[in-house]
Chains A and B, each alone.
Chain A
Amino acid sequence: MEQVLLSEEPLSLPIEVCTECGALVTFHGVVRSKSKNGVVVAIEYSAYRELAYKQMYRIWSEVQEKYGVRLYLAHRVGKLNVGETAMLVAATSEHREEAFSAVMETIDRVKKEVPIWKKEILEDGRSVWI
């Protein structure tokens, strides 16, 4: 199973917890309706796909090594309705601290380092880059 994924398809959690692991931490980044721009009905995610995958892989690799966890990192592209999962991060580890830290650092780095952009589609018909 691919542990880094950039996909147009809905995301699901494929990670298995090994018998030595006592922690599984997961994060779902979900499209929400509330925005300073108005009521959101969907978000259109676009990416520079080749570079986005490279950057995701780099983050996945570095975070795994730093925290000694097993990591899963997936992000969607395309139009996602409110309630759909845009990003999924999961970490398994022996203890919870490193799994929580790995997931937090992965989320923060994806938001800064991966060339993915989003455009809000609003209820009033406007669309806004955010």
Chain B
Amino acid sequence: MIRVHFFGCFADEFGSSRELDVSNLKVADLIRLLNIKDVYMVAVNGELADTERCLTDGDEVAFMPKVGGG
């Protein structure tokens, strides 16, 4: 089971979080599976990660659109 969190405009589209019963996936696979467009940042377990990162059971993944602080 992987918990996925969505931020910014992604939360409007996908909800703030959901659990997925998937395994043997990379972050890029999950982006394709969920059809998320224009991912700007990804974090796994609270740390920035790239899309080639392999996911394991219990991971928490965050998908973030373009940031805009200030």
- Complex CA gap A47/B16 in Å reads 12
The residue in chain A whose Cβ has the minimal distance to the Cβ of B9 is A129
Q: Which residues on A sit within 8 Å (CB–CB) of B64?
A: 48, 115
Chain A nearest CB, measured from B70 CB (Å): 5
Of A13-21, A64-72, A105-113, which binds chain B? A105-113
Partner among A52, A54, A107, A111 whose Cβ is within 8 Å of the Cβ of B68 = A111
Asked if A63 is at the interface (CB within 8 A of a chain B CB), the reply is: no
Q: Which residues on B sit within 8 Å (CB–CB) of A86?
A: 69-70
Q: Which residues on B sit within 8 Å (CB–CB) of A7?
A: none
Asked if A118 is at the interface (CB within 8 A of a chain B CB), the reply is: yes
* Interchain CB contact under 8 A, B7 and A118: no
- Complex CA gap A118/B69 in Å reads 7
Q: Which residues on B sit within 8 Å (CB–CB) of A110?
A: 69-70
- Taken residue by residue from 63 to 86, chain A's Cβ proximity to chain B (1 for < 8 Å, 0 otherwise) reads as 000000000000100000000001
- Which residues of chain B in 17-70 are interfacial with respect to chain A, using CB atoms and an 8 Å cutoff? 41, 43, 46-48, 62, 64-65, 67-70
* Interchain CB contact under 8 A, A112 and B67: yes
* Interchain CB contact under 8 A, A114 and B9: no
Q: Which residues on B sit within 8 Å (CB–CB) of A129?
A: 8-9, 12, 65
**CB-defined A-B contacts under 8 Å, sample of 13:** A45-B69, A47-B69, A48-B5, A48-B62, A50-B46, A51-B48, A52-B69, A75-B70, A111-B70, A113-B67, A117-B7, A117-B8, A118-B68
Given contacts A110-B69, A114-B69, 19 further A-B contacts (CB under 8 A): A29-B70, A47-B69, A51-B62, A75-B69, A87-B69, A107-B70, A112-B67, A114-B67, A115-B41, A115-B64, A116-B67, A117-B7, A117-B65, A117-B67, A118-B68, A118-B69, A129-B8, A129-B9, A130-B68
